[in-house]
Every structure is written in C-alpha cells, then in structure tokens.
C-alpha cells in the first residue's frame, strides 16, 4: 500500500481483516462485526459502524476505506432485463445484468475489464483486455444492484442467483474471483448459497481443479463446438486446451451431492447446428454428469458472420438430444434490445477505447 492509498475493506478476506484489526489492538470478533456492517447492512462509511468504539473507527479510517462503484447508466428492456454500467475508481467501466425469471432474479457479474480469451462471437472478447477486477469490485456489483432495486424487491423478490458470465473469464482472475465468491457466501454477510452461484468458463482446463479445491460452486462450460477444428476457430483457448483436455478436467471436477456440470452450447446457423453435431455432442458428454443449455445465437451487426439458426433447425437439434435422454434447456435470449444478451456485453469505455470521465459526485 502506498503512503497515500488506503486499503479497501470491501473485498478484503476475513482473515486479512482479522490481521488488520489485530495490528491496531482489536479482538478477532471485531472482524465479524465489520463483515456484517459491510455486507449485511452495506454501510458506506466506517464511521457508521456504531458497535466499534470511536477510537477504533478513527484508527480504521486512517488505514482503510469503503469504496463504492458508480452507476453511470442503467437500461431496461421490455422483458424486464436491466443492464448497469458501473464505473471503477480508475475510470474504467464494466457492465452487470439483472435477469428476471419466473421465480427468481439472476445477477450476471463481470470479473474483468474486457477479456483476453478472444472468442470470435463475443463482443467483450473483441474489445480486448484492460485489467482484472478486484474481489471488492466483483462483490460491489451485487451490493450496488441489490441497493438500487430495493424499492421493487417486495414485488419481484430478492436477487437469489449469481452467475459469473459477464465481461471477462473468471478463471483468468482466479484468486480475486475465489475471494469474491467466499464473501458472497458469508453467513453473516450476503448469504448466497453455493448452489445459487454458477461460474462459467470458456475452458481454462488446468484451473478447474484449483477452482474445485478452493470453493464449491456450480460450474458451466462454454463448449459451442463438437470438433477441435471448429472450436479452435471460434474459441482460441481450444488451441491450448483442446476438447479432450477440457472434458478430462470436467470428469475430474468435484461435484458435490447431485450436482451436474452445465455445458453451454451456442447454436450458429450452418456451423454447429446439424444433427451430426448433436450426435457428436451426445458422445462427448456421455460419461459426464451434465445438463446442456442450448443458446440460439444473439445476432449483432458488429458480428455479421454469425447467424441464428431457423426455429426448425433449433427444434430438430433439441429433439435429437432429448430423445437420447439428455437433460436439455433452451435459453430464450433476454435483453438483446439493450445489448445485455449473452455475448453482447461491452462497456462504453471498451467500445470507445477511452475511459469514462470521472463524475463530479459519487452515487450508486
């Protein structure tokens, strides 16, 4: 930490917080109190932590702060999807999406500013990589959205599902992501169940074992092709970790209880939507506890080479899988009109190549 820069309490692991408080002569249980203030009460100022002594609060304020994302823009689609553009302290921006479903609200979080995986069908990947998000910046997306929708929660219910499939590749930022996941699941904090959190990866196979060792969450694999030739064209990561390597890592991934791995399969017209592709998909996943999420491609003018299959083609692919007793879901695209659908996230800063200007006042 530089002489002029304070530590961020938000996103700080509990044990690090214990050591910080110990250094100023405070007991271990004080860390639990701070955690509750940060994530249950979601205070914005250390001075409001009223069960800490005034001297403790002043000492803590000299060392640390509670940063807060700034919401620069919020958009709503006709289907109820809401997209938030958040500004970080350095002026970079990320997007977060709230997706309403029949019995729940799902929040899609970003884990990086941009992405370096370079998937050809993803606008985030086409924008390049700027930097990793900190654990605090990942967690703060949840806090800011929860606070913004609080007036409507009585009617729509709370945010109860978290998916890490916004901007960035979560396994490319594993340490910060794991810390953020642990904080999201604190019993005295935000209290998300591990079964309500899903991490989606494009296939950084060596990191899957480390993820499974360190934290228990649901896993989704962005598959999208049944041959190495096509997957390498669509997803450059496949040149390092091919299908055989990736699926072997999936077979070794620890699945607690009756969990299964979700395989996300974006359907592209004329590329991967044939019955032969479906047949290969059945063979690839045959001995993996799995469910398949079929996602018809969300067409976008910046990606004219990719098209959505016809409804008949989608139906034939789906029926082929169902007839072979696979568990399959089709995801209806939401938020496409505000560029909030799968693969369409790209922040204003990333689109323009410039940082968003810092506003005169902070709000969230």
Over the stretch 266-301, which tens digit does the pLDDT of each residue have? 999 999 999 999 999 999 998 999 999 999 998 888
Count the helices and strands in the chain (H runs, E runs): 13, 14
Give the separation between CA 56 and CA 60, rounded to whole angstroms.
6
> d(Cα 165, Cα 238) in Å, to the nearest integer?
18
Give the CA distances from residue 156 to residues 22, 62, 146, 186, 213, in Å, rounded to whole numbers and listed in that order.
42, 40, 12, 24, 35
If one compares 104 and 229, the residue with the highest pLDDT of the two is 229
pLDDT in tens, 95-118: 999 998 877 899 999 999 999 999
> What are the structure tokens assigned to 257, written together?
């209880």
Among residues of the chain, what percentage have pLDDT more than 70?
A: 88
93 membership: H or E segment, kind and range: strand 93-101
Residue 301: beta bridge partners?
Answer: none
For residue 181, pLDDT over 50 is answered with yes
Separation CA 350–CA 42 (nearest Å): 29
Neighbours of 101 (CB within 10 A): 12
146 phi and psi angles, rounded to 5 deg: -60, -45
CA 184, 188, 193, 194 torsion: positive or negative?
Answer: positive
Query: Are 70 and 86 in contact, with CB atoms under 8 Å apart?
Result: yes
Which helix (DSSP H) or strand (DSSP E) does residue 18 occupy?
A: helix 14-23
29/31 Cα distance (integer angstroms): 5
Closest CA to 112 of 124, 99, 126, 98: 124
- In the chain the domains, ranked by start, together with CATH numbers, are 7-65 (1.10.150.530), 70-352 (3.20.20.70)
Phi (first) and psi of residue 292, to 5 degrees: -115, 135
φ, ψ of residue 316 in degrees (nearest 5): -65, -40
CB 356 within 8 Å of CB 313: no
b/e per residue 317-332 (b: at least 16 CB within 10 A): bbebbeeeebebeeee
What's the pLDDT band for 360 if we cut at 50, 70, 90? very low
Residue with the bigger pLDDT between 80 and 4: it is: 80
What does the pLDDT read at residue 184?
96
Query: Is the pLDDT assigned to residue 356 strictly greater than 90?
Result: no
What is the model's pLDDT at position 361? Answer: 34
As annotated, the active-site residues are: 95, 342
Contact 261, 219 (CB under 8 A): yes
Dig out the tokens for 73 from the structure.
Answer: 């823009």
Mapped onto helix, strand or coil, the DSSP state of residue 264 is strand
Distances (CA, A) of 258 to 192, 221, 254, 263, 291: 19, 18, 11, 16, 12
Q: Which of 44, 73, 85 is nearest to 61 (CA)?
A: 44
Beta strands 197-201; 159-164: pairing state:
parallel
Rg (CA), the chain: 21
Which tokens sit at 219? Answer: 């896993």
The SS3 assignment for 116 reads coil
Please count the residues of the chain: 364
Q: How confident is the model over 170-199, as a mean pLDDT?
A: 96
pTM, full prediction: 0.91
pLDDT-based confidence at residue 119 (cuts at 50, 70, 90): very high
pLDDT at site 341: 53
């Amino acid at each position: 930490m530089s002489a002029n820069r304070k530590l961020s309490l938000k996103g700080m692991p509990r044990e690090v917080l214990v050591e910080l408080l110990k250094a100023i002569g405070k007991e271990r249980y004080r860390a639990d109190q701070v955690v509750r203030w940060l994530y249950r009460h979601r205070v914005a100022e250390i001075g409001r932590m009223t069960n800490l002594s005034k001297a403790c609060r002043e000492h803590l304020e000299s060392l640390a702060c509670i940063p807060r994302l700034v919401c620069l823009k919020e958009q709503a689609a006709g289907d109820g999807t809401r997209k938030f553009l958040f500004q970080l302290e350095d002026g970079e921006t990320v997007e977060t999406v709230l997706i309403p479903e029949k019995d729940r609200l799902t929040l899609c979080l970003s884990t990086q500013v941009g992405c370096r995986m370079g998937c050809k069908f993803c606008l985030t990947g086409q924008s390049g990589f700027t930097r990793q998000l900190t654990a605090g910046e990942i967690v703060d997306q949840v806090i800011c959205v929860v606070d913004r929708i609080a007036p409507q929660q009585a009617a729509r219910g709370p945010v109860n599902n978290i998916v890490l499939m916004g901007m960035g590749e979560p396994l490319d930022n594993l340490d910060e992501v794991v810390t953020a996941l642990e904080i999201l699941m604190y019993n005295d904090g935000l209290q998300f169940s591990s079964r309500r959190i899903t991490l989606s990866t494009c296939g950084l196979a060596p990191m899957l074992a480390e993820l499974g060792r360190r934290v228990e969450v649901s896993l989704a694999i962005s598959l999208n092709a049944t041959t190495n030739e096509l997957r390498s064209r669509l997803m450059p990561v496949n040149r390092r970790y091919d299908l055989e390597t990736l699926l072997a890592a999936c077979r070794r991934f620890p699945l607690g209880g009756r969990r299964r791995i979700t395989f996300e399969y974006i359907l592209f017209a004329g590329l991967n939507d044939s019955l032969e592709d479906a047949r290969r998909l059945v063979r690839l996943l045959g001995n993996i506890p799995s469910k398949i999420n079929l996602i018809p491609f969300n067409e976008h003018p910046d990606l004219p080479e990719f098209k959505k299959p016809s409804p008949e083609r989608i139906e034939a692919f789906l029926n082929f899988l169902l007839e072979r007793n696979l568990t399959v879901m089709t995801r209806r695209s939401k938020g496409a009109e505000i560029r909030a659908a799968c693969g369409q996230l790209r922040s204003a800063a990333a689109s323009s190549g410039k940082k968003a200007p810092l506003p005169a006042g902070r709000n969230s």
